[in-house]
Amino acid sequence: MREQMLAYISIITMSGVLNFYLFLYVFNRRRLYKRISFYFLVYVAVIVIYCLGSAFGMLSANLQQLKFWTAIMYIGLPFTSPLGLLFIMKYLGIKVQKYQIASLLTIPVITTILVFTNDYHHLYYRVFTLHPTLGAPFFYQEIGFWYLLQGGLTFGCMLAGLLLLASRYKEVSIQYRFQITALIFGQFLPIVTAFVYLLGITPEGLDPVPMVLWISTLLYFWAISTSKLFSIMPVAKDVIFNSIDDAVMVLDGSFRLVEINQASKLHFPQLNHAMFGLAISDVWQDLFNATFDMEIGLLEINVSVDNDRIYQVRLSTLDPMRNMEGYLLIFTDITEVKKLQHLLERQAYYDELTHIYNRRAFLQQCEVDYTQSHMEETPFAVMIMDVDYFKKVNDVYGHLIGDRLLAHVVTICQNNLLKGELFARYGGEEFVFSIKNCHQLEAELLANRIRLAVEKTPLITSEGEITVTLSIGIAGSLKQGTDTISDLLNKADKALYQAKETGRNKVKVFTEDMVDLDSSDLENPSNPIMI
């Protein structure tokens, strides 16, 4: 019997020493392992206390010594399984809140206190004494209420850790499965041994769990040295999947929704787990009130939830080489990018004061329209409009009133345009129009309507009403014409100068007998502005 006891003590002591060495090994390399090493070090430390307390307890010669070393052992024993679970959760990337840590450790703290003070209340052991036939160091015990509670927590934590590891086994790549395997067996062995102990198969009065912990320790050593446990961890699906800002939907091979991340719920509040298993066409209809018609690649959609948002949607396949049949739908919010893009486009193509096209935008679009008109063999006309004596307005009233007057004229023009005209600020107080499928005569009628509307609609200011007039030049191209846009604009410019030369507030259509005029000769500041 004595030889058998020495064997037990040696095995338990070996478990304690190996775990102590493991503690020192990880502690010296803790900077390489980042924060996860803290959880593992605390976990190993309580195992060391548990093993050494158990070993010294087996050397007890009387009940007093046995109770003392049992109390020492319980400084570590109650914490092993909760701390092991916390380590596994940290390893898998599962976020644990402080209150959850406190909840797991509350019962072990109370257990340790109850074991130290058991002689006063007997809540943990109703009876704890030397074995009546075997004597020291064997003991006889009758368990109390709190023993059952602590035992439930211990088994629950070990089982939860085992199940978590097993559930992630298929999700990680092959290079990380050695780590998962080592941790699974490290959890599985103590569970089986403790279960055998409860069945009464092991020697009476002895705790066999410390005797197998050396095997778990060797597995951890192997994992650290061969598969770089801690320094290269499997990045858990939840860490990436639920931390990215893009909304991600996972579809199976039949295009049914099987998973979503946290960002999906934020972007699309109506999306919920009740939709799992539904075809993406049905989900798409519910979310966006549209038909899902998308192939592998990219598209942009406008989604109205609380605010109108624009998403870039990418559909891609999962990895078929790893037997992962299915698809990913990734929604990237590009609303702000589109707003910036729209702003830059407006700055590049729109006049800041009047909010109509600027010269650059007009010339680009006019070229397109004229080419199309020429291909369709339809007439095309351009008009250049000038605000008469505008310089006088700036001199008399200031540039602020001058800007208001230009905006006023633009508004009147827009109210008198028909659908399809291209309208832009050509520069200063000059504006330009292009009209598809329009003869010169039709353009002349439109120009006179605009001219009369501006003349009859004065700008109301604090200094009184300001009435201005317009001079307009028109040039047209027939379906058989060969003029370019530059030719038409040059002709319209000559017609405008003719309108100014003959008294302003007129519309002139280009004719071949018109001659070039110098525009500087036409600005006569002595002519009055009607007030």
Of 243, 248, 244, the closest CA to residue 259 belongs to 248
The tens digit of pLDDT for each residue in 96-121 reads: 888 889 999 999 999 999 999 999 99
Residue span(s) of the chain under CATH 3.30.70.270 come to 350-522
244-339 topology per CATH: Beta-Lactamase (3.30.450)
What average pLDDT values come out for the chain (531 residues) when binned by 10 residues? Answer: 76 89 85 74 92 88 90 92 89 81 94 94 91 80 90 90 82 67 83 76 71 84 71 54 80 84 85 85 85 72 64 78 70 85 83 92 93 89 96 92 95 88 94 92 94 95 92 85 86 94 94 63 46 45
The tens digit of pLDDT for each residue in 60-96 reads: 889 899 899 999 999 999 999 999 899 888 887 777 8
Residue span(s) of the chain under CATH 1.20.1070.10 come to 2-226
Q: pTM, whole model, 2 decimals? A: 0.50
Q: Does 3.20.20.70 match the CATH number of domain 2-226?
A: no
The answer for 436, left when phi > 0, alpha when psi is -120 to 50, beta otherwise, is beta
The tens digit of pLDDT for each residue in 346-395 reads: 788 899 899 999 999 999 999 999 998 888 888 999 999 999 999 999 99
Q: At what angle do helices 145-168 and 98-116 cross, to 10 degrees?
A: 140
Torsional sign, CA 213, 215, 217, 220: negative
Q: Does 3.40.50.10490 match the CATH number of domain 350-522?
A: no
Looking at residue 91, its amino acid is: Y
DSSP code per residue over 478-512: -TT----HHHHHHHHHHHHHHHHHTTSS-EEE--T
Q: What pLDDT is stored for residue 269 in this prediction?
A: 84
Tell me the C-alpha distance between 87 and 82, whole Å. Answer: 9
Tokens linked to 428: 């200063």
